[in-house]
Amino acid sequence: MSEALRAHVTAVAVHLPSRYRTLDESRLKIAASGDYAPPPGFLEDLTGVRGVHVREDGENASDLAAAAACAALDEAGIRIKDIDLLLFAATATDMIEPATSHLVAVKLGACCPVFDVKNACNSFLNAMEVAASFMAAGRYRTILIACGEVGSMVTRWNVPDRQALLRALPGYTASDAGAAMVLTAAPVADGRGILDMRFISNSAAWESCTVAGGGTLHGRSVHDDHATLRVNGDLRQGAFDALPEILEAAGELLAAARAGVFVAFHQTAMPQYRDTINTLSLPEERCMPAVAGHGNCAAASLPLQLVKARETGRVAEGDVVSMIGLASGFSFGMALVRW
């Protein structure tokens, strides 16, 4: 009988572009681009965010992902030839076809199988689920997840009035970032790795938050409403509608998450950060408001928090951490990981 295997997180890394745009700089850019000029401090007061990371000119999602992947491979002490499968997991893509994972693979010199995993801001967490399932089945032993987010592409600068600005508000906290994780198959008996995962969807809420352009609905549209990250209703309602199902299906896992050393959850702005802590009864002292200084890094948000927690000594080997994903759609996911 073969030994039971579990996905173990060997390394996690992030790549943050050196360019940084404060929200006051964004305010000035809005004022210079259209008819409406937000008052000083308006964006900061609404979002609680100081600024966002911005990619260099000509830098693509695959570049950000490849930079983070190189750092993760170095941390894991392995080379790209040791990777059995490469997954690209992000809201962003370099193009519609081929899969962005191929571009990342070329930049890393990989020759393993590759494919993309895409589910808005839960893309990275879903890629972890895919990797864990493959390892449990004995299909692959070493998997690299790479993520490249270019949130700066979905920011609306020309806004005619205050209402248009409020609809486009999520775009002003959208940040550029790369993230990567190396997972290796390890015996379940050693107690480490991804202990449990749960996913729930409330797809009826899909219209609440969109980037509508680029697909079959608005394929060639360059209209601001289609090309930017836009709130079309009460995004929180999609989460609240799904809350009873979340508590029923993931109540036990949530209780375990609250008891963990560190809780990472997807963050779009500080009001949402506080709402999530209150709604899910999370221990605030075990959370990190990364969005305040780094903005909304989309699918790179969870690995970013893990990296920062390790850098500050909040997570050590043997600790249990939880990862909670919240994504437009609406989609909820959780992972419980022993480091």
Helix (H), strand (E), coil (C) string for the chain: CCCCEEEEEEEEEEECCCEEEEHHHHHHHHHHHCCCCCCCCHHHHHHCCCEEEECCCCCCHHHHHHHHHHHHHHHHCCCHHHCCEEEEECCCCCCCCCCHHHHHHHHHCCCCCEEEECECECHHHHHHHHHHHHHHCCCCCEEEEEEEEEHHHHCCCCCCCHHHHHHCHHHHCECEEEEEEEEEEEEHHHCCEEEEEEEEECHHHHHHEECCCCCCCCCCCCCHHHHCCEECCCHHHHHHHHHHHHHHHHHHHHHHHHHCCEEEECCCCHHHHHHHHHHCCCCHHHCCCCHHHHCECHHHHHHHHHHHHHHCCCCCCCCEEEEEEEECCCEEEEEEEEC
Residues 98 and 204 in one domain: no
Reported as a single tens digit per residue, the pLDDT across 201-211 is 877 777 776 66
Q: What CATH number should be reported for the domain holding residue 167?
A: 3.40.47.10
Q: Which residues form the domain of 218?
A: 193-338
Residues 170 and 288 in one domain: no
Residues 33 and 153 in one domain: yes
Q: How confident is the model at residue 223 (pLDDT cuts 50, 70, 90)?
A: low
Residues 208 and 268 in one domain: yes
Q: What is the pLDDT of residue 63?
A: 98
Work out the mean pLDDT of the chain and round it to a whole number. Answer: 89
Please tell me the pTM assigned to this model: 0.93
Residues 56 and 143 in one domain: yes
Q: What is the pLDDT of residue 329?
A: 73
Domain count of the fold of the chain: 2
Residues 148 and 77 in one domain: yes
